[in-house]
Amino acid sequence: MTSRFAFTLLALALAPACSRTPTPAAAPASAAAKPGAEGAAPAAAATETTGAAPAAAVNANGVPRAVGPVATVNGRDIGPERFNAEFERLVGRSTKVPADRLRKIATNVLNRLIDQELREQAIRNENITLTDAEFDDAWKDFTARFRKGDGHFDEAALNAELQRAHTTLEQMREQIRQQRLGAKLVEKLGKVEVSEADSKSYYDMNPSAWLETASRDLRPILIRVPADANAEVQKKAEQKAEEASAALRKGQDFEQVAKQYSEGPLPPLHLTRMSAEAELEPVAFQLKVGEVSKPIKTRWGWYVLRLIEKNEERTRPYNEVRDEIRAQLTTRRGYTEERRILVELRKKAEVVEKLPF
């Protein structure tokens, strides 16, 4: 089973895991001060035990911030830090939100944290682990979005994503690890297998999904002209476009012609009948494969087009889309099964909610 539906799991997106402390009596302040100590209670929870008020007792909306566990799930506490951060991220620091709405937001945040804790407990109880190779595959799936067309990794884009999510690279890696573990939990306890009959039925019931409209793929040359250019500049640009078109018709190399008459070769164009390039579409659909157009005036300047591929409207056959359908249905069932599993876990669990307001 692949990790296709791993990133649809309901783990809180792009955020560090919430802190947890065991339910027994509060640890002394010295234990709370040790970062990462197993079983250590957060400083805020210790403050709540002693009765001392924290420095920031309320948020911008005037509601109390959590200073102790916000819930206990099967004897394990969910600490306040993640709750406070997520709640304040949703309500903002200055916007005033009605009290009933604040309560609903807080309840939703708490339920997500409880789901996360239930999921992690189930992963431990089922002895589900992740190999280095499995994590590497999951991380590769996630970071694929940051690879450019030439295959190079865009580290700046990844860093920007981390900054937007207010998280670190290590926290992100842990998030991806938890998501993949959650996917393995669903694979073990759920029913996500898609049969051939399921796939074929889905194909037959969604005929419009497999319809490909007619399209044309073209190589363009553009002689740019400013929108406010005078008639003389426009005429010179048109003449260059005519010369480029003539050179291509004589069989000259496209790349060389593009460099000679314009800023150089542009990426190929893919046009349909619904394309935004209204000036280009009628001409493109009249060309034969390999044919070169006459100059076309557009709001960007003068275009010359060569048709490289002609695609007529068609319905994609089942054999062509079978794998796509299977992936879609697997993702959908993975999400549905995860919700079912969490509902069952919640029914069996001992959960005590401790919202601060």
> Where are the chain's structural domains?
6-192+330-353, 214-312
pLDDT for residue 17:
40
Mean local confidence (pLDDT), 290-312: 95
Confidence of residue 177 (pLDDT cuts 50, 70, 90): very high
Q: Assign 147 to helix, strand or coil.
A: strand
Confidence of residue 61 (pLDDT cuts 50, 70, 90): low
CA distance 232 to 226: 12
Neighbours of 344 (CB within 10 A): 13
Of residues 8 and 204, which shows the higher confidence score?
204
pLDDT for residue 164:
87
Q: Would 6-192+330-353 and 214-312 be classified into the same CATH topology?
A: no
Which contiguous run of DSSP H or E holds residue 222?
Answer: strand 215-224
pLDDT for residue 263:
78
Residue 234 token pair:
């426009």
pLDDT at residue 53 above 60?
Answer: no
223 backbone dihedrals φ, ψ, rounded to 5°: -100, 105
Instruction: Give the type of residue at 44.
Output: A
Of residues 27 and 182, which shows the higher confidence score?
182
Mean local confidence (pLDDT), 126-131: 96
Of residues 99 and 196, which shows the higher confidence score?
196
Residue 211 token pair:
């319809």
Q: Assign 244 to helix, strand or coil.
A: helix
Confidence of residue 94 (pLDDT cuts 50, 70, 90): low
Which CATH code of 1.10.4030, 1.10.760, 2.170.150, 1.10.3470 fits the domain covering 6-192+330-353? 1.10.4030
The secondary structure of residue 314, as a DSSP letter, is E
Which fold would CATH assign to domain 214-312? Chitinase A; domain 3 (3.10.50)
pLDDT at residue 339 above 50?
Answer: yes
CA distance 268 to 219: 5
CA distance 124 to 73: 14
pLDDT for residue 307:
97
For tokens 């996500």, what's the residue?
Answer: 192
For tokens 């390999």, what's the residue?
Answer: 290
Of residues 221 and 59, which shows the higher confidence score?
221
Mean local confidence (pLDDT), 218-235: 92
Q: Assign 253 to helix, strand or coil.
A: coil
For tokens 């099967």, what's the residue?
Answer: 74
Q: Do the Cβ atoms of 116 and 18 come closer than 8 Å? A: yes
The radius of gyration of the chain's CA atoms, rounded to the nearest angstrom, is 29
Of the listed ranges 22-26, 301-305, 345-349, 353-357, the least confidently predicted one is 22-26
CA distance 147 to 29: 47
- Buried-exposed string 36-71: b where 16+ CB fall within 10 A, e elsewhere: eeeebbbebbbbbbeeeeeeeeebebebebbbbbbb
